[in-house]
Structure 1
Amino acid sequence: MKKNLEFPECWEEVQPAEFAYLLKLRMLLILSPKAISLTDVKRLWCRYVLRHRGLKSKKKDYYLLVNNLSETLDWQWKVDDENKSIALTFDSTVNLIPSWSDFWGPASHGADLTFGEFRYAVIMMNEYTRTQDVAYLYSLCAILYRRKKGGKRVPFVSSDLAKMTKDIAGMPDYLKWGVYCWFASFCSFLFHGTFILDGCEVCFEPVFSATNNGNTPEQSLGMNSILFSMAESGVFGSIEEVDNTQLLRVLLKLLNDKQKADSLIQATKKHDIQS
């Protein structure tokens, strides 16, 4: 056994190959619940992780170790005994599916997402959540996973979406669901989490708080409204240029505008009181 072998205790410590295998096991659990139990899934995943990280099954007390580790995985799964449901509780912004074939996904924490691809991706995510129509899931994956040119993903062009969807059709279904899972988690974090940008903590929740009823950014704020207002202001250029601007830059601008507006309102109220 390697002295420095570490077993993951959170999603950020899981490696892409390990996440892919977990997604396979999840699909098997859903499709064949009578053939495999959650306990089986946990043990199989632990065995895979240990082998993947260099521990051979011939080691003494190997199966006892597998069983003990499987009992530490409550952070991965949510079991609802009342509704008899089991769900994978992915809640990280780290992209554990960085690539598939020669298609590359977004950087972790949405660092390289453009406003345009985010805008279209949220629409597809919402529609898949609402209808469970896999056509929307395929479109979501096609928007987020693109080939590289010059070391970067080729720009997203909405008019090419039909072709892009066909190109990525071969991605395994369990990975497609994983893409949906990551993007949904990213959107949730965008609502409530804190980003570290240029060494500073930034929370975008105030941008959405006025109309936040537990919905996604697309539902609560309206990405099209942001697009048109940003283009009208000319800060980032035309509508096309806004769509090609980094998502977090657009949100930083919105946050800055809101903070200025709030300060102006407070100053006005203070002046009225003093008067």
Structure 2
Amino acid sequence: MNRITLSEKGIDIEIPSHWDEMNKNQLLFCMKQAVMCTSGIVSVDEAKVRCFYHLADIQRDYKSVAIEKVMSEEIVQEKNSKALLLAEQLCGFMFKENEQGQTEINYDTIYNHFPFLLSGKVKLHGPMHLFADLTFGEFRAAIEEMKEFFQSKENSDLNRMMACLYRPERSDYDKVKKRDDFDGSIREPFNRARIGINADYFKQVSHVVKTAILLWFTYMVDYIQKEDLVLGGEEVNFSGIFQGGESEGRRPAGSGWITVLHQVAKQGPFGDAEKTDKMGLFDVLLYMKDCHDQNEELKRKSRKK
């Protein structure tokens, strides 16, 4: 949190310094401004100022607007420059520039701030933080649908990607949640044949929310390829298995994960391709890492000979 004190307005408050510190209303408001900015509807400076005013709970009512009209232009410009400076300092974390110098939304969080969505009366349940409960099949399908969306820019393809991650409550939930062997899964089992059916639910979900989920997913894909993770109480880094290109069987994108699926299934630790797809994402990645580490060790030994 950042503390802001404006004595002339009697303001002494804390405002979020990251997406993870926002409440749901704050996050939705700021994400909407960010989406409007990257869509060219408002400038990045205006988006930051709007977010600053909202997070600081500074109201611009008809009185403040009327007062500005009787102020000199010099005083108004000074006031606006101060607001912009504060907005840049306190809300600059929401944006970043890509390699082409274009402004992008910097939604750098491992937390799923939308654990469930409402589509009319239907409640759609999503993945846990850090993809903790995502299966390899769900992850692979979402990657493939995301790739289609990036190529087509069609909302229908984005909806299909969302349907790989969010689904209605499983029909037997009330019964299985009482069992000792309950796996904790609320969502109906993933079924590729139902992607199109479940995608229809997202016609009633706002574009802002879907954008936030898409940004979270893309950030998480990059995160698990590069950063240290703690799994089962131990620190793990998967960067070794994602180095290089697809020609080496690494850093797969889209259909490249099909190759990974068949490679893992062929070696048989989890069973055939269908059973492998139902395994947890990190179970498969840990197996891939173990194979990679063993191969690297064999290479080191062969070089010493």
Larger radius of gyration: 2
TM-score range, shorter chain: 0.7 to 0.9
User: How far 1:223 sits from its partner (Å)?
Assistant: 0.9
CA contact (8 A) 2:28 2:209 kept: yes
Alpha-carbon deviation of 1:18? Answer: 2.2
Moved more, 189-198 or 147-156: 147-156
- TM-score, scaled relative to structure 2: 0.73
Call closer, same or farther: CA 1:198–1:163 in 2, change over 3 Å: same
SS in 2 for 1:78: strand
* Residue identity in the other structure for 1:261: N
- Residue number in structure 2 paired with 1:74: 92
Alignment TM-score, normalising by the size of structure 1: 0.81
Specify the alignment match of 2:22 in structure 1: 14
CA change 1:254–1:240 in 2 (3 A) is same
State the match for 1:41 in structure 2.
Answer: 47
Indicate conservation of the 8 Å contact 2:127/2:134, yes or no: yes
Q: C-alpha separation between the residues in 2 aligned to 1:172 and 1:47?
A: 23
TM superposition shift of 1:148: 2.7
Code of the residue aligned with 1:197 in structure 2: it is L
8 Å Cα contact 2:95/2:105 also seen in 1? yes
Report the counterpart of residue 28 of structure 1 in structure 2: 36
Paired residues of 1:122 and 1:218 also in contact (CA < 8 A) = no
The verdict on how the C-alpha distance between 1:220 and 1:143 changes in structure 2, with shifts beyond 3 A counting, is closer
Counterpart of 1:203 in structure 2 is 237
Q: 1:127 aligns with which of 145, 148, 152?
A: 148
1:166 equivalent in alignment to 2:200: yes
Name the residue aligned to 2:67.
none
Cα drift, residue 42 of structure 1:
2.1
Query: Where does residue 240 of structure 1 map in the other structure?
Result: 274
C-alpha contact 1:15 1:96 (8 A) present in aligned 2: no
Partners of 1:124 and 1:16 lie apart in 2 by 27
Task: For residue 103 of structure 1, give the secondary structure of its aligned residue in structure 2.
Answer: strand
User: Using a 3 Å threshold, how does the CA distance of structure 1 residues 23 and 11 change in structure 2: closer, same or farther?
Assistant: closer
How do 1:1-275 residues align onto structure 2 when only pairs under 5 Å count?
Answer: 6-30=14-38, 33=41, 36-51=42-57, 69-72=86-89, 73-78=91-96, 85-101=102-118, 102-149=123-170, 150=173, 152-211=186-245, 217-219=251-253, 222-270=256-304, 273=305
Coordinate RMSD, CA, aligned: 3.2
Structure 2 gap segments, 5+ residues each: 4-11, 62-79, 174-183
Contact kept? 1:104, 1:153, Cα under 8 Å: yes
1:23 offset after TM fit, Å?
A: 2.1
Does the CA contact (< 8 Å) of 1:211 and 1:221 recur in 2? no
Q: Which whole-Å CA distance do the structure 2 matches of 1:69 and 1:199 have between them?
A: 41
SS of 1:218's equivalent in the other structure is coil
Aligned residues: 259
SS at match of 2:33: helix
Q: In structure 2, how many angstroms separate the alpha carbons of the residues matched to 1:79 and 1:207?
A: 28
1:140-188 deviations in Å (ceiling 9; x for gaps) = 1111111233362222110111101112221111111222111111111
> Relative to structure 1, is the Cα distance of residues 32 and 122 closer, same or farther in structure 2, using a 3 angstrom cutoff?
closer
